[in-house]
Each structure stands twice: as C-alpha cells, then as structure tokens.
Structure 1
Amino acid sequence: MAKKFPHNPSHPERICWGCDLYCPAKALACGNGADRTMHPVELFGENWDSLGEHLQAETVGTATKTPNTHL
C-alpha cells in the first residue's frame, strides 16, 4: 500500500518526493541519484492542489454552450 502523500509538509526540501520511499535528499535510494524530485508545494506554492480547478470549471461551462451555426 502506498504511503499517504502529505499536502503541505513542514520541510519539503529535506525529502525526495519521486517515489514512495521518501528518501532524505542527501541519501537517494532510487534512480541515478543525480537530483531529488521536488514536492508540488515547492514548485507551485501552497495552493498547488487547486491549480486546475478553475480550468476544469471553464471547460465544463464551455461544453454546455450551444455553438452559433448562423453565419
């Protein structure tokens, strides 16, 4: 069973988020060890989990409109 993915960890820079191992950034156990995978909060900010919600709402709204066929 996969570990629960933390929403907003206190020190995301200390961990590699690339797999379920959550290795310390200086002791990577998987991959080639070149670099750690950043947590989404480091890349997109604290509201990273709601970034696509407004786009999804716009897509649903445009799908219900009827196209104008009169030219």
Structure 2
Amino acid sequence: MPLIAAVTAYAETCVDDVGLSVEAANHGAIRPYEAAGFVPYGIELRALNIADVFYDEILMNLDLSRQG
C-alpha cells in the first residue's frame, strides 16, 4: 500500500519503531500491515465501545532498526 510505504519510509528517518492498533476483525487492514512487516504482539480486549458493542484491537509493531 502506497500510504503505508510512505509513512514507514518517513519514519525510518526519525524513529526506531512504529506501533499501531487495528480492530481485530478488520482483516482488510491487518493483511497489508503484515505485508509491510508489522508484527502483532498483543491484543487489547474491549478496546472500543461503540453503541454498547465492544471491539478488541490487535497491537502491532514495525521494528525499523532491523530494516535494510
């Protein structure tokens, strides 16, 4: 995905890691993050409450210090 590539390319110039969270059932977002090198490392249960429905979030990290 061009946006993920642009953000991570910029991040490489100033940080060692990029973290994000994504709704656990949003496989359409999880797949491109994993393809870009993000690794899931945890889950935040009941992270979101929308109209009394709770949603879990997957925590992901990209270690830029190991890139290149």
If the TM-score is normalised by the length of the shorter chain, which range does it land in?
Answer: under 0.3
Rg larger in structure = 1
Q: Which has the higher contact order (CA 8 A, sep 6+)?
A: 2
More strand by share: 2
- TM-score of the pair, normalised by structure 2: 0.23
